[in-house]
A and B are shown apart, each in its own frame.
Chain A
Amino acid sequence: MSWRVARVSGLRDETPSARTLVLDVEDWPGHVAGQHVDIRLTAADGYTATRSYSIASAPDVERVEVTVERLDDGEVSPYLTRDVIVGDQLEVRGPIGGWFVWRPEEEAPVQLVGGGSGFVPLMSMVRTHAARSSSAPVRLVYSVRAPDAVLYAGELARPPGHVQVTYAYTRAVPEGWPDRPRRVDAELLAAATWPADRRPRSYVCGPTGFVEAVADLLVAAGHDPRTVRTERFGPTGGTR
């Protein structure tokens, strides 16, 4: 798999700390919802830094959107969320990953559980579902620290048909919200997700601790572990 040149053709601020980059990629082969790309930056002295970013958009010809959350001590994300301008060129490798993917041909109920910026690949699934007019029923649980951290809030306020959205605000709730800040727990999952006997396909993406906790809860609620796909999302992977 080779590196391709991508031209930044659009920028959208999603939250105070997250920005979507619209990339026009030469000879882009298209992607499947849930996949990611690697982006490589090269400094003048030849030093390179590569990071993985989930694709947020539905499959398209030559165009792919990634949403980047700024990590203030990061090497790559401050550049991508603050300094990049339309017309800049980046190197992109992808699409990558055939495991954490949802294909619109699948008809089983879909369970999406996202935490923080781990929601991005799930948005690609929601958008693909809408673009292809899938009839698979979708339930989405989005765990997010505060209302101003919700990605794609405008789009999610009018979710496409067959998609039911439940928020779990972990630190601050919107005005008039009937619940206190809470984490995703067994009670919330029981109320907002498909019961195991509907045999949904579940996709869980977020920080490592979140993903492992939610996956364990789903399995404890009777879901077959083989139907629960996970993607851990984080700064990078540690040093062991």
Chain B
Amino acid sequence: MTDDPHGETHLDGNAAAGTLAELFTFDVTVAVGRCAGCGRVSTVADTRSYLDGPGMVVRCTGCDSVLLRVVSSPERTWLDLRGLAYLEVDHVTEG
């Protein structure tokens, strides 16, 4: 059914969209990102997200590297994007 070595506990980047919408003025999940680990290029929606921890972790579907992490406290939010080599954002994003 799945090659996910960690069981079927992950969702995809769609599930991270609400949290990311608090931080960005565009829909990050329709942007295309390059994994800094393996170089895989994919839509952010087409990744694996893990939401049950203290923060949110989005991992590469290809190599399982962490692409981005978001941790929020009531006062502020930390955003770690070190796993993304780049994000490519269309100027005319529908929706």
Contact = CB atoms under 8 A, between A and B. Distances in A.
Nearest to A34: B14
A224 interface: no
Q: Among A35, A98, A239, which residue has the most Cβ atoms of chain B within 10 A?
A: A98
B11 A213 contact: no
B1 A236 contact: no
Contacts of B93: 98
A74 interface: no
Given A237-B50, A240-B9, A240-B57, A98 B95 contact: yes
Nearest to B7: A238
A38 B7 CA distance: 25
Interface residues of A, number: 32
Please tell me the size bucket of the interface on B.
35 or more
Contacts of B95: 32, 35, 98, 101
A50 B53 contact: no
B4 interface: yes
Contact of A237 (B2, B15, B18): B15
Interface string A88-106: 0000011011111101000
Interface in B19-75: 21-22, 27, 29-30, 43, 45-46, 49-53, 56-57, 59
B18 A233 contact: no
A232 B2 CA distance: 12
B52 A237 contact: yes
Interface in A34-55: 35-36, 38, 50, 52
Contacts of A212: 1-4
Contacts of B57: 240
Interface string A7-44: 00000000000000000000000001001101000000
Interface of A: 1, 32, 35-36, 38, 50, 52, 93-94, 96-101, 103, 207-210, 212-213, 230-234, 236-240
Given A52-B18, A231-B14, A232-B15, 5 more contacts: A99-B27, A103-B94, A212-B3, A236-B11, A237-B51
7 contacts: A35-B95, A96-B21, A99-B30, A209-B2, A237-B49, A238-B52, A240-B9
